Amino acid sequence: MIEVINLQRKARLRVRSFRDLVAGLVRRYRLKDPDIVLAFVDDRRIKLLNREFRGKDKATDVLSFPIGTRGPDGRYFLGDIIISVPRAAAQAAEKNHDLDRELRILVIHGFLHLLGYKHFRGMEAEEAKVRRKFLGA
């Protein structure tokens, strides 16, 4: 099951389109019905999570929490992706594209982390391929 949660109120998000993006990523990597949570939050909430789980007392754009285990009921829990919408908006402005595109970039990035990709260990090449397929660039 793919669950998309919008916990911020500043930007209107097309939740269904993000669910569709995650579903497309699930198909691309041939995952069999994983449980994934994608949450859109504000800077305050992501800062708390970043401090608690990474020891960094600052807001960040995306956090991924890979789980990668089966529950007692046999369901496969891939993990959670948390995205700061204010950070994404700032990055979108810097890169001169819209918020929706930046959020999609961050969803892809977070998803690859759930699969075990790490920075500078093949992630950048894989991310470029996935972006081309899902974003056209």
CATH number at residue 91: 3.40.390.30
Straight-line distance from the first to the last Cα atom of the chain, in angstroms, rounded to the nearest whole number: 28
> Shortest CA distance to 36 belongs to which of 99, 88, 81?
81
Which whole number is the average pLDDT over 89-109?
Answer: 94
Q: For residue 128, give the 3-state DSSP assignment.
A: helix
Half-sphere exposure of 63 (CA within 13 A, CB side): 23
Q: Which residue has the higher pLDDT, 37 or 32?
A: 37
- Say how many residues make up the chain: 137
Question: What's the mean pLDDT when you consider all of the chain?
Answer: 92
For 55-68, how does the pLDDT look when each residue is reduced to its tens digit (9 = 90+)? Answer: 999 999 999 999 98
Domain coverage including residue 94: 2-135
Q: Confidence band (pLDDT; 50, 70, 90) for 10?
A: confident
* Total domains in the fold of the chain: 1
C-beta separation of 88 from 69 below 8 A: no
Question: Can you give the pLDDT at residue 11?
Answer: 87
